[in-house]
Every structure is written in C-alpha cells, then in structure tokens.
Amino acid sequence: MKSTWSIRLVRALFFALFVFTGITIALGFQQPAWIGATTGACIMGLLLVLDLLFARFSLRDFSHATFGLAIGLFCAWLITRIGVFQLIYFQSMLDGDAVRNVVEILIYTSLAFFGVTFALRSDRDQFALLIPYVRFRRDGLEGEPLLLDTNVIIDGRISAVIQTGFLTGALVIPRFVLDELQRLTESGDPQKVIRGRRGLEIMEKMRMADDLRLTIHEDPPGNFRDIPVDTKLVSLARELNARLLTNDENLAKVARLRGIVVLSFNDLAISLQPQLNPGDELSLSLTKAGKDKHQAIGYLPDGTMIVVNNAAAHIGQTVEVAISGALPTSAGRLIFAELKR
C-alpha cells in the first residue's frame, strides 16, 4: 500500500543523487560545480512534477501500458516489413527514402499510442486473448487484499471470522472509511455516535492483534474527497485488485457489475442456516404461544422460528420435537414441528 513517508524518502535520496551526479559531470567537463548541481536539481524537479501528474498511475497501469506499447511496436514492425515500400510507386519517387522514414515514424508512433491506450482500457482477463490461460492464472483469491466497508467494521464480526481461517489476505481500510467513522462520532445523533465509537474501538483491537495484517490506504491527491464513499470503494477495489467485504446490498450489486469479488456476512449467515428436513429431531425451547391456541413457538440460535403444534401446554419448557414441514415466506422459511412421542 502507499506510504507517504517512504515516497518522500525516495524522492529526497534521488534528489541528492541527481545533484551529486550533476556536480561530478560538471567537474569532469571543467565546469563550475554549481552549474552541475543546478542542472541535476532541475532534472529532478521535472521528474517530481511528472511524478505528481502520475500520482494515480499505479504499477498495474504501468505494466499494462508497457505491454500495450510492446504490442503496438510489434504490429508496426510487421506492417513495415510486408514490402509496401518496395512497390514501384515508392521506388520511383525522388525523395522515396524521406517519405518512407516519415511514414514509418507515423506508423510506429500511431500504433504505439493505440497499443498503450487500448491496454490501459482493458481488464486483466482480456489479455487472455493474447496470452493463453492467463485467465486461469489469476492470483489465488486467498492472497488478494480484503477491502473493508464502514458497515463491516461497525458490525464487529470481522476479527472473529478472520481468526477462524475462513478469510485470508491483508486487510485494507481506506482513509476515507476512517474519516467516515470519525464523522459519526462527531455527529449530534446519539445512535451514530455509538456506531462510530464502536467502529473505532474495533479498529483499535484489530490493529493490536498480532495475527491480523492491517493496512491503512491513504487517499490519493486531487478531488478524490468529493466522490461518494461507495464509488470510491468500488474504484479502489478495482485499482488494488482487492475483494470487497460489505453488508450493503446495493454496493455489493454495483461492485459485482464492475467485476469485483464481493463478500458479505449476511450472505454467509444465510448460507450457514441449518437445513431442516421433515423427520429431523431436535431440542427446542418454547417461548410463546402461536397463532392458533394449540401452537407454541420456539427459535433456533440463528433466529429461525419453529411452530410446534399441540404444544401450548409446554410453553417455557425445552421439549423434543420432530420437523413435519416448512412453508416458504417473504421473510424466510416458516418451519412446523410436532412433539416427539
């Protein structure tokens, strides 16, 4: 992840290197040392300006651009080698060599430009058209970073789930997510204040845990702060090739449309609900009366409601029941059971 102090250190070291190199070269040409130092400083200044302009240009973008440049130059080389300039039309021209050089330069620069731009607009999987099986050679999902949304941090289950081993990879928390938690603690709404404080407390516990790899991703410079948080999360997940962990269903849908792997504790909880079939037996604590007079209701640990027939007299007791059937509803499955004889 990006580290401001390390980038500044590298810039300072290279600035000193350029100044020292400029002085050495100037002295070698019998020129004053200050000329070499100034020249080296100016060159490094130009590089710093370019570095700021490319602040949002990642290593993946650079690799894509390099690959696209190589493809463009190779295509240009093929075009200039098919013998077009050997035609009589070009051979009979008085300045045929000059025309040939100009045309070749245009071909190389044009295809190099399109190669770079096409590559930057392409996803990694699209390179499978050129490199067979690259799509199946993707990094394992367990090694990809895990980008956390604000609601997942406030949820509080992230530490326990990771300690079970079901989730692996470095945890990445964007700076704007921390800023959102801070804004919640400073809001006037008591409920938001509680949620914000709980999120910050969970963050502190995660930071102190030795078995968790936690990284804070700093916001890039520019107008990035003006973009909605959900949009920033999706863009950052694509930039880092990270999985997105969120309980926000709308955000999850948008992220999946963008080709991002989305994980959700809600989906995990639903998938882990016990599948009870007719004939299964279990112990159930009956807590209240049902809709009909003879019915009693109990709940499984995950909140699933079970309606037990002819059990009204056993409310407040734990009884053995046998599943008799299930009825799908908009809120989930409504399970019916009978007292075990």
Residue 85 clears pLDDT 70, i.e. is over it: no
Lowest mean pLDDT among 79-88, 196-205, 276-285: 79-88
What digits encode the pLDDT tens for the residues 253-265? 888 888 888 888 8
Specify the pLDDT at position 4.
Answer: 67
Contact between 332 and 304 (Cβ < 8 Å)? yes
Domain boundaries, the chain: 1-53, 58-138, 144-270, 281-339
DSSP letter string, 272-324: TS----TT-EEEEEEEEE-SSTT-EEEE-TT--EEEEET-GGGTTSEEEEEEE
Q: Where are any strands of DSSP class E within the chain?
A: 146-148, 171-174, 214-217, 243-245, 262-263, 281-289, 296-299, 305-309, 318-329, 332-339
What digits encode the pLDDT tens for the residues 88-121? 666 676 666 777 778 888 888 888 888 888 887 7
List residues bridging with 116 in a β-sheet.
none
Q: Is 222 helix (H, G, I), strand (E, B) or coil?
A: coil
Among 7-11, 73-77, 134-138, 322-326, name the most confident range: 73-77
Kindly report the average pLDDT of the chain as a whole number.
80
What digits encode the pLDDT tens for the residues 13-56? 999 999 999 899 888 888 899 998 999 899 989 988 888 887 76
Category of 83 on φ-ψ map: left (φ > 0), alpha (ψ -120 to 50) or beta = left
Domain 281-339 - what CATH class?
mainly beta
144-270 has which CATH code?
3.40.50.1010
Give the type of residue at 301.
Answer: P
pTM summary value: 0.49
Contact between 137 and 182 (Cβ < 8 Å)? no
Q: The tokens of 146 are what?
A: 């895990």
Residue 127 clears pLDDT 60, i.e. is over it: no
